Amino acid sequence: MLIGVLALQGDFEAHGAALRRAGAEVLEVRTKADLARVDGLVIPGGESTTMLKLMGYYDLFEPLREFGASKPIFGTCAGAILLASEVMNPAQASLNLIDLAIERNAYGRQLDSRVVKLSGHGLEGDPELEAVFIRAPIIRRVGEGGKILATYQDDPVLVDYGRHMVATFHPELSNDLRIHSHFLAKLG
Ligand code: GLN
């Protein structure tokens, strides 16, 4: 099993390190040939508009859509925006792989960056889960197939779509490996 981390822009190094700590073999994905080698993919946080432009530039947009039609993708923050079916503030193209409406930079200035403890999440073990938010989006609608695993201020922040998964925060910046392990379990 080889897991890819989309390495066009953003927080891909920290994701790679977290996945390795969780026991995975990791490949940084920058080309179609890289993508063809991996069994699952993480799209990291960063800047979704920039990542979208780079996907176009490197001819990865359609290959990523095809990849996601049969293989698991975990999108965190900007990655969640890129997987969604509807992006707001402003509207923006996306891979449209999950039935999800998401609003960019939705916490405004009061939550440019914040570390919080979530409770009542759907993961095993410690009842508290650390979540690092950085200019985070807010999920406005979870559509078909989405199971909410964690919320913050009543908004979903971690959602499992069966094959895919999204988080509006940055699990790669916490020591807790449960979220990465939860994703790796989808690879079989
Ligand atoms: N604000 C960024 C965007 O809209 C996402 C922030 C992040 O990934 N930490 O793309």
**pLDDT tens track, the chain, 188 positions:** 999 999 999 999 999 999 999 999 999 999 999 999 999 999 999 999 999 999 999 999 999 999 999 999 999 999 999 999 999 999 999 999 999 999 999 987 656 789 999 988 999 999 999 999 999 999 999 999 999 999 999 999 999 999 999 999 999 999 999 999 999 999 97
Q: What is the CATH number of the domain that holds 38?
A: 3.40.50.880
Asked if 1 and 39 touch (Cβ cutoff 8 Å), the reply is yes
Give, using CA atoms, the residue closest to atom 2 of ligand 1.
Answer: 47
Burial 108-119 (b: 16+ CB within 10 A, else e): eeebeeeebebe
46 lines ligand 1 (CB under 6 A): yes
Catalytic residue of the set 15, 121, 164, 170: 170
138 and 110 in contact (C-beta within 8 Å)?
no
Helix (H, G, I), strand (E, B) or coil at 79: helix
**pTM score, whole prediction:** 0.96
For ligand 1, is residue 16 a contact (CB within 6 Å)?
no
Q: Cα of 104 to ligand 1 centre, how many Å?
A: 7
Sheet containing 86-88: give its strands across. Answer: 86-88, 100-103, 138-142
Q: What is the pLDDT of residue 110?
A: 58
Q: Estimate to the nearest angstrom the gap between the alpha carbon of 134 and the chain centroid.
A: 13
How many domains does the chain divide into?
A: 1
The pLDDT value recorded for residue 111 is 60
Range of the domain at 50: 2-186
The torsion defined by the Cα of 31, 36, 37 and 41, in degrees rounded to 10, comes to 80
* Ligand 1 mutation pick, 52, 55, 135, 157, max ligand atoms within 8 A of CB: 135
pLDDT of residue 120: 85
Q: Which of 77, 103, 164, 182 is catalytic?
A: 77
SS3 55: helix
> Which pLDDT score, from 0 to 100, does residue 157 have?
98
Active site residue 15: no
Q: How far apart are the CA of 169 and the centre of ligand 1, in A?
A: 9
Residue 72 CA to ligand 1 center (angstroms) comes to 21
77 is annotated as an active-site residue: yes
ipTM for the predicted complex comes to: 0.95
pLDDT value of position 112: 75
172 tagged catalytic: yes
- Which member of 103, 172, 180, 182 is catalytic? 172
Residue 48 beta carbon below 6 angstroms from any ligand 1 atom: yes
